[in-house]
Chains A and B, each alone.
Chain A
């Protein structure tokens, strides 16, 4: 079955430290993968997406993600965390089930301390 798994419901970093949020997928066909960010009581905003054009994808706010087929992973990174990065992050994958279905991971809450 096609699915998305995010390891770690919470990740804590210090301001200026590296951010690494993990996402693994399961898919029998080449996937289309996305990272979204959600601030408290708000909707989701697209950070970046992988559409097979390049394995290293750069997104907004200094985030990037690398697609690794051999590891079935699409981890999100940022070299230096800012306080404003504190939010919940969702990895997602589209499936073709007769319509464009977006399947989400359970989310990772990023906490940034001064």
Chain B
């Protein structure tokens, strides 16, 4: 089945650590996105990539980094510079076109301990 796989589902990070969230898709989509979800704030865009080896900052990129070495993969690293990383992280992908929907993974819940 085609879809987006995020791992792990739950992740715990100690203060000062970097952690990497995995996102893999087999939908052959060029565009991939990372969103952060906090209660009452909807989804906010962290980074996006329209093509391999290219990515752009979204609205809240500070403290995060990404790579796009393969079409299928778009990992997100939450660095120690992110002061409030506890949140639910969602990866998505889409085909070209403003009228095409985004497909989402099941999310990773990151908690700082």
Q: List 12 A-B contacts (CB under 8 A).
A: A9-B40, A32-B99, A36-B104, A43-B6, A43-B106, A43-B107, A45-B104, A96-B98, A99-B56, A102-B102, A104-B43, A107-B42
Identify which of A9, A44, A51, A52 contacts B90 (C-beta below 8 A). A44
Q: Is B75 an interface residue (CB 8 A)?
A: no
B99 to chain A, nearest CB (A): 4
A66 to chain B, nearest CB (A): 18
Identify which of B101, B106, B109 contacts A34 (C-beta below 8 A). B101
| Residue ranges of A at the interface with B (Cβ–Cβ < 8 Å) | 9, 32, 34, 36, 41-46, 49, 51-52, 90, 94-96, 99-102, 104-107
Q: Is the interface of A mostly helix, strand, loop or mixed?
A: strand
Closest B-chain residue to A98, C-beta based? Answer: B56
Measured CA separation A44–B98 after assembly (Å): 18
Considering the complex, which residues of chain B in the window 61-113 have a beta carbon less than 8 Å from any beta carbon of chain A?
A: 88, 90, 92, 94, 96-107, 109
Q: Is B21 an interface residue (CB 8 A)?
A: no
CB 8 Å contact bits of B43-71 with A (1 = contact, 0 = none)? 10100101000001000000000000000
Identify which of A42, A90, A94 contacts B42 (C-beta below 8 A). A90
State which size class the interface on B falls in: 20 to 34
Measured CA separation A100–B4 after assembly (Å): 18
Closest A-chain residue to B97, C-beta based? Answer: A100
- Tell me whether A43 and B94 are in contact (CB under 8 A): no
- Tell me whether A100 and B31 are in contact (CB under 8 A): yes
Q: A43-B104, A44-B104 are in contact. Are A106 and B98 (CB under 8 A)?
A: no
A101 to chain B, nearest CB (A): 7
Q: Is B33 an interface residue (CB 8 A)?
A: yes
Residues of A within 8 A of B48 (CB): 99, 101
Residues of A within 8 A of B50 (CB): 99
Q: A90-B42, A99-B50, A100-B31 are in contact. Are A42 and B99 (CB under 8 A)?
A: no
